[in-house]
Amino acid sequence: MNGLTPSTLYLATAILLILMGLAAVLVKRNLLKMVLGLSLVDTGIHLLIAALGAHPGRTAPILDDAKYLADPHTLLARVNLVVDPVPQALVLTAIVIGVGVTALMLSYVVRLYARRGSLDIGEIGRLKW
């Protein structure tokens, strides 16, 4: 890696987010903070995937300008103008699934708190082996 290019910055930020989330899951004992950590891991992965398809100097994959509507023989020229749309579509899916998973985790936390009156994972030892 030579110098601080934007893609190095994306990669470093994404890995930092993932590691922060993982550290929260491993170290914290509060269930809410663990859910927050998993959410951070999720965000880091989204950033990683979305940035994988990014190319410097290209624009969003929305062909709403007349310059994209050229003759059929310049169809392939479009490929060099916009970034890769596939990672963005995959991240769109992943964000929605992440929201659903977080909602389900938080519901479990609410239920556990109602039963135990505590958010400490150390006090939930019945499934421990």
Partner 1 sequence: MKQIFSLALLAITGWLLWSLVPYGQATEPGPVSSHYIAHGLQENGGSNLVTSIVVNYRGFDTLGEVTVLFLSVAGAGFVLRRRSGQRRVAPRPSSEFVQTGARMLFAPMVLFGVYIFVHGHLTPGGGFQGGAVIASAVLMLLLADRDHHLPHGFMGWLESLAGFGYVLTGFLGLAIGGSFLANKGVLPLGQWNRLFSAGVIPIIYTLVGLKVGTELSTLLDVMVDSGRDHGEADAHGQKGGAA
Least separation in angstroms between CB 113 and partner 1: 7
Residues that bind partner 1 (CB under 8 A): 5, 7-8, 11, 14-15, 18-19, 22-23, 26-27, 48, 51-53, 55, 60-64, 68-69, 75-76, 78-80, 82-86, 88-89, 92-93, 95-97, 99-101, 103-104, 106-108, 110-111, 113-114, 117
Burial class, 69, CB count within 10 angstroms (exposed 0-12 / middle 13-18 / buried 19+): exposed
In whole angstroms, how close is the CB of 90 to partner 1 at the nearest point? 9
What are the distances in angstroms from CA 104 to CA 74, 111, 116, 122, 123?
A: 48, 11, 18, 21, 21
CB of 36 to partner 1, least distance (A): 16
The amino acid that residue 84 corresponds to is D
The rounded distance, in Å, linking the Cα atoms of 61 and 111 is 43
